Amino acid sequence: MSVDFVKVAEIKDIQPSNMLAVDLEGERVCIANVEGNYYAIGNICTHLGGPLNEGTLEGFDVECPWHGSKFDVRTGEPTRPPARQAVPAYEVKVEGNNILIRKHQ
């Protein structure tokens, strides 16, 4: 696992209140834009693997499109069942027009 930040998207790719799924070294990651701030968590729901980027973003919570679990995009922690395990959380850095992420150490 690299410790360096990796560019995964550009600012124009993710409008406010939207999400985008990207790959980081083989892991699917969901980038969320909450009022101009970017957050990144694992894209695969820990319940049965639903794609979080296809769900809905409300405040800091993303709702899985399959059975309604919610995760906090700031921490990856579940905020509503049926999911009980957190998804990974990533650090996000914006440099110019670029969005870079790395996994929390």
DSSP, collapsed to helix, strand or coil, labels residue 83 as coil
Q: Residue 44 burial (CB < 10 Å; 0-12/13-18/19+)?
A: buried
Q: Which is nearer to ligand FES, 5 or 82 (CB)?
A: 82
Q: How many residues make contact with ligand FES (CB under 6 A)?
A: 12
Tell me the closest approach of the beta carbon of residue 43 to ligand FES, in angstroms. Answer: 11
Q: Which of residues 5-64 bind ligand FES (CB under 6 A)?
A: 45, 47-50, 64
DSSP per residue, 13-37: GS-TT-EEEEEETTEEEEEEEETTE
Q: Between 63 and 102, how does the x/- string for binding to ligand FES read (CB under 6 A)?
A: -x-xxxx------------xx-------------------
Kindly tell me the sign of the dihedral angle through the C-alpha atoms of 69, 67, 47, 55.
negative
User: Footprint of ligand FES on this chain (CB under 6 A)?
Assistant: 45, 47-50, 64, 66-69, 82-83
